[in-house]
Structure 1
């Protein structure tokens, strides 16, 4: 996730950020990402490729820290050409900014974006593209209709939430916003189908409580939910709820690694069923506190400590 303050825009910054993350936990394999911005050049793309770095695009103003996002893909065609040559992955936040003149808002921002995805794939058919955190049946059908170089991630929270869950409830507010029950059903169906170009992406965001539950009319609620510490048990619980538990391993690991060209992991994680596990109301580290997704709710699986 390169949409930090300031954003990660070049290889040196990405590697510095990676070193900071490894200092916290060196056992994790970090996939570093550059924020698509006007300063990015084909030479920087080639340099980033040598370091195993990919690129993510944010349309301007559609989510947290996307003020420096793009307004037109055409100006980045030389970048995409270099990425295609380097066999590099382009991750897309698939929305367009709200615009009352075109009747565009958070509920149809993803569907309105999909023609841009189709155009990019047609122009760069060998460029590996991931439509991240899809929320609609339209997105599922669009990605299915495109070639093998286009894939899609699905979050845990979008397998659970619909619009009623975030309208008036800031803790469940994320971008893209959760949509209608039929859209959620489409996400569940494609996972149950075991489609290899649809795999898990967390989109986990640890915003502090004062950014999620704001009292000032001048400050907007931060978009994003925090799921990281409960991700595997949460995904297992959700997949079990709609009869797709047998798809868990491929969904959370195999399909994504295959698309990104990463070798299979040597480590194994064991989950076990539990009837007495509840998500904590909050997590604290030093003076910082974060309210997690599903706070206080019962969760059906837990990781077995080795």
Structure 2
């Protein structure tokens, strides 16, 4: 498949295994945009205010999300917190909660209640291994290091957890470095990783000059970006899509202020992955022959569902992508104009997406 020549493409719906859907009016704005990005399944982050630390909170949040967009499957998670117990983990598993998210304290948005010492939660990890819940890692340390990136400094923790709990399913979220990819590859089949759309096209320089491109983990070098691209279209099921789409009101993303970390890609999630791969082909990072139908389906949809033990989409579930000259708008806004969220890659030309009728 020569992607640059493709005018019409059909894919199974994408499974976005890392997404921030927020709460209140911001949630009401962004949740209806999920399907616009070709996604029918999302793994929902629990870093709300207050964080989701109980099964009842997760169920209530899922109910609100379903009311906003009932055609999406919401995989819920708990926030790793001192209030969690092995009994809560057993309750979560029985209620269909998919995972528990570990945020090191202070590393990103709403992580103030996060983990100080990972070893304090070994009993929780043992219970998760027993009940087959997924451990989702924000893989950064909260303090600067001169020797390596914040993500690279976290990788020994990943390896230690895998050695201690070899049957525990672990996802290293939003990989941003070659070292992270190598660490995941070195682990057994119970360890996987998500890759975002924006880490496939951003570099650190871009993130520092454009508030809408500022996120955590910070994009790294062009070499790291290209390694992520190669992993995404490698056919390795350890790597699958998780957009980490993270909306903030545009007022929180303006230069001259303390800019909130997060890149908003949800309404064009699938299309932005395809755009990043096209650009990588143009730069000579990958060849046309590496972007196959099978590998696109694996990265965007099938590998993530398999890791989370979900059924695959049936043959009637398809998204249709066509070149019609569509460009990404600068933002989306609430009906009354009180909330506006800026979009990544505004003015870029992308595939138009629709859902095939059954």
Cα distance between partner residues in 2 of 1:19 and 1:90: 23
2:254 matched to 1:213? yes
Cα drift, residue 298 of structure 1? 1.5
Matches of residues 211-250 of structure 1 in structure 2 within 5 Å?
Answer: 211-216=252-257, 220-241=258-279, 242=281, 243=288, 244-246=291-293, 247-250=295-298
Secondary structure of the residue that 1:30 maps to in structure 2?
strand
Alignment of 1:159-238 (within 5 A): 159-216=200-257, 220-238=258-276
Unaligned runs of 5+ in 1: none
Report the Cα distance in structure 2 between the residues aligned to 1:305 and 1:262, rounded to whole angstroms.
Answer: 21
- How many residue pairs end up in the alignment? 299
1:95-144 alpha-carbon deviations (Å, 9 max, x no partner):
00123xx437xx70000000000000000000000000000000001100
- How far 1:239 moved relative to its partner? 2.7
Q: Which residue of 1 aligns with 2:32?
A: none
SS in 2 for 1:114: helix
Deviation (angstroms), 1:168: 2.1
What is the TM-score of this pair, normalised by structure 1? 0.94
| Residue of 74, 78, 81 corresponding to 2:119 | 74
- Given candidates 38, 47, 59, the residue that maps to 2:91 is 47
Match of 1:62 in 2: 107
* Secondary structure class of the residue paired with 1:167: helix
Task: Note the C-alpha offset of 1:264.
Answer: 1.1
Alpha-carbon distance in structure 2 between the residues aligned to 1:8 and 1:214:
31
- The alignment status of 1:143 with 2:184, answered yes or no, reads yes
CA contact (8 A) 2:233 2:296 kept: no
| 2:193 alignment partner in structure 1 | 152
Is 1:127–2:172 an aligned residue pair? no
User: Using the alignment, how far apart are the partners of 1:273 and 1:238 within structure 2?
Assistant: 16
Could you say if the C-alpha distance between residues 14 and 79 of structure 1 is closer, same or farther in structure 2, counting changes exceeding 3 Å? same
Superposition RMSD in Å: 1.5
User: Could you tell me whether the CA contact under 8 Å between 2:77 and 2:100 is conserved in 1?
Assistant: yes
